[in-house]
Structures are given as C-alpha cells and as structure tokens.
Amino acid sequence: MESLLNSIDFQYIIGALVKTAIFWIFIMLVVAYMVYAERRVLAVIQNRLGPNRVGWQGLLQPFADLIKFIFKEDIVPLSVNKALYMMAPVIVLVPAMMVLILYPFGPSNVPIPLASTINWVVNWAGSLVGWDIGLNLTTMNLYITNFNVGLLYVFAMTSLGVYGIFIGGWASNSKYSLLGGLRSSAQMISYELSLSLSVIVILLIAGTLDLAKIVEQQSGWGGLRWNIFGGNGHWAMIPAAVIGFIVYLVSAIAETNRIPFDLPEAETELVAGFHTEYSSLKFALFFMAEYVNMTTVSVLATTLFLGGWQGPGVGSLPWLGPVYFLAKVFFFLFLYIWLRGTLPRFRYDQLMSFGWKVLLPTALFNIVFASVLAVLFL
C-alpha cells in the first residue's frame, strides 16, 4: 500500500484528477463571469449602466442567466438532421475544453501547502482502521500536465473545433444557418494559418514546443526577458517578436469570431448565423465554447509572448505565479471586450481578403525575417 500510494504514477493520476476538477470549475466561473464582465464593461464604454440588480452590483447575474437558459423551452425544428443537430454543440465544446490540461498556471515542483499536516492526518486516519498508509506528499506542479509537443496539441484542438460550427449550420437545414456556418468556418480555417505561422517566431527564440519550458525560459531581468522583448535570445529579435505578437492577436480575434471579425454570427446581419435554430442549453453550449476558445487564446498569448506566470517575486513565493498569470489573461480578455465596444465590423469579403492578402504574407515574411535575425544574432 505504501509503495502504491507513494509511486509517482498514482500520485500523478490522483493529482491530475483533482487539478482537472479545480481547473474545470475555474473555467466555468471564468466563462460565466466573462458574460457578466462583457455586459458591464460594454455598458461603461457605451455610457450606460449594465446589469446591476441581481446581487451586489449584479454579481449574481450569471447564475440568473444560467437558470433562464435551463428553463427555456428547447425547440427542435422538425426538419433538422437530429443526430448531427444534437452533436454539433458537443463537437465544438469538447476540443475547446481539452486544451485546459495544458494551461501553465504556475511553476513546477512547488511545495504543497500543509503537506506535512495532510500526511499526518491521512496516516493517523489509516492507522485507526488498521491500514499502514505511508503517505508522503512533497511537491506538485501548478499545471495539470505537460507534453513535449504542447503547442501543436493546442493547434490540433483548435482545428477540431471548426467542425461543430459547420455541422451545426448544415444540420439546421435552414438558409441562414448554412450560410453562417460555412462563412464562419471558412473564416476560422483561414485565420488558423496566420495564427500558427505567427507563433514560429517564439519557436525560434525558445527552441522548444513545450509550454512549461517556454515560460521557464522567460525568467529574470524584471520582465525584460519576456518573449515580446526578444526573449532570452537577443534584443535584435524585438521587431520580429512584436510583429509576431500583433499578427497573433489579430488572427486570434478572427479565429474566435469576435468583433471586428464576427460577421457570420452577428445578429443584425445573418440572423445569428449558425446558431439560429438552437435554443436553450445547446445555445448555451455554443456560447460557452466561444468563451473557452477566447480564454485559450489569451492563455497562449500570455504564455508565449508575455511571460506566463513570470513576475516579480515568483522565485521565492511560487504561489504568486498563478496571480500574475491570471492578471495577464484577464488583461487579454478585457482587451477583447474593449475591442468589441469600440470597433465596427468588417464585411465578409474584406475580412477574407485581409486574412489571405495581408495577414498571411505578413506572417510568412515575419518567419523569414526572424530566421535571418536568429542566424545573425542568436
């Protein structure tokens, strides 16, 4: 029993399960409060009050929305393709949630707080029953897991999320849905290219696809070694990294179908696009998937460009890492909402020509430029 409990695999599995549960709850809260934050921040930008009735300052509004969604009538039109209609929200949501296991919240090998207390309590409880549980917890990682092709895995899950959108649009058997679904997914696969290519600059600087290692390499110098400032390479990589950052941000906003790139799902244009025929909980799942995608993209932006959980004092107080990480992620989410309140939307042909004729050549040129700089200076 002792060797089983102390074996690395068992602790890893139990730790991964516990962390997955905690992170999942965290993501659900982030998604729910993103809806609320969006409404409040948009209200401030548009010079009005947002929802401020439910609970103090409206903080219980997401729960009111959730209850409303659950009690709404679930209308399924007669002419839909039942199997695909039901599966589409799931196909969008599951790949979006699968990226959760890679979020690098904090450093690795962080001492577990109250470890000795937990050890003592569990061993004492075991001895009461007669088991000899020799529990000996020491350190944990502040992320669920990590693999050596982490970045490729994130892009793979993003590619799989495109399916739910046009399957949902097609299965709904209506003109608006089909058109919205096809346009939306065409936009997503076009901007996926510039998204992936803009990250290659970071690969040149960091030399690895592993998200935890990329963050660890950005430590020191009071934040001046973040990858957007050239990383641990050389100051000469700054222009390439900044161009990469801008291309990444623009592609990310287009990839997640947000303003200014959200023509396929705007209410005033295409009658809400591919989710026209969806109601109640399935619509809530589509919504949730969009916000989880936004969070994923923001997490990638902070990890790759802004130094992840690095910040002053993380060396001595490792639990400060998640605080910095969340601060940076919330900054990007605020940026999304800010852009929504400020910019008008692109027309669809302007959107596609921008993606193919401006962003993709910029990303390709950036790769060549960064390679030249890397050969000369790194």
User: Please, which residue, 36 or 170, has the CB nearer to other proteins?
Assistant: 170
Residue 257 is encoded by which pair of tokens?
């179908």
- Give CA–CA dist 352/368, Å, rounded: 24
Sole binder of other proteins in the list 209, 272, 300, 360 (CB under 8 A): 209
Q: What are phi and psi of 27, to 5 degrees?
A: -65, -40
Q: Is 155 in the site for other proteins (CB under 8 A)?
A: yes
Q: Is 156 in the site for other proteins (CB under 8 A)?
A: yes
Q: Is 111 in a helix, a strand, or coil? A: strand
Neighbouring CB atoms inside 10 A of 87's CB total 16
Which positions from 211 to 230 touch other proteins by CB under 8 A, shown as an x/- string?
A: --------------------
**CB under 8 Å to 232, separation ≥6 — which residues?**
205, 206, 217, 218, 225
Cβ(299)–Cβ(293) below 8 Å? no
Sole binder of other proteins in the list 152, 224, 343, 372 (CB under 8 A): 152
Q: Is 185 in the site for other proteins (CB under 8 A)?
A: yes
Cβ(16)–Cβ(144) below 8 Å? yes
Taking the complex as a whole, the smallest distance from the CB of residue 156 to other proteins amounts, in Å, to: 4
Cβ(132)–Cβ(2) below 8 Å? yes
DSSP 257: T
Sole binder of other proteins in the list 23, 26, 69, 163 (CB under 8 A): 163
Which positions from 47 to 86 touch other proteins by CB under 8 A, shown as an x/- string?
A: -------------------------------------x--
Query: Facing residues of 140 across strands?
Result: 110
- Give CA–CA dist 107/67, Å, rounded: 37
Q: Is 247 in the site for other proteins (CB under 8 A)?
A: no
Q: Which amino acid is at 56?
A: W
Taking the complex as a whole, the smallest distance from the CB of residue 361 to other proteins amounts, in Å, to: 15
Sole binder of other proteins in the list 108, 159, 279, 371 (CB under 8 A): 159
Taking the complex as a whole, the smallest distance from the CB of residue 211 to other proteins amounts, in Å, to: 13
Taking the complex as a whole, the smallest distance from the CB of residue 207 to other proteins amounts, in Å, to: 9
Q: Which helix (H) or strand (E) holds 2?
A: helix 2-6
Q: Is 166 in the site for other proteins (CB under 8 A)?
A: yes
Q: Is 170 in the site for other proteins (CB under 8 A)?
A: yes
Q: How many Å separate Cα 179 from the centre of its chain?
A: 27
User: Please, which residue, 34 or 80, has the CB nearer to other proteins?
Assistant: 80
Which positions from 95 to 134 touch other proteins by CB under 8 A, shown as an x/- string?
A: ----------------------------------------
Binding segment for other proteins among 13-21, 32-40, 143-151, 310-318 (CB under 8 A)? 143-151
| CA-closest candidate to residue 34, choices 340, 333, 338, 339 | 333
First to last CA, the chain: 51
Binding segment for other proteins among 47-55, 104-112, 162-170, 338-346 (CB under 8 A)? 162-170
Count how many Cα atoms sit within 13 Å of the Cα of residue 61 in the half-sphere of its side chain. 17
Taking the complex as a whole, the smallest distance from the CB of residue 108 to other proteins amounts, in Å, to: 20
| CA-closest candidate to residue 291, choices 32, 89, 101 | 32
Q: Which residues contact other proteins by CB under 8 A? A: 84, 147-149, 152-153, 155-156, 159-160, 162-163, 166-167, 170, 178, 182, 185-186, 189, 192, 196, 209
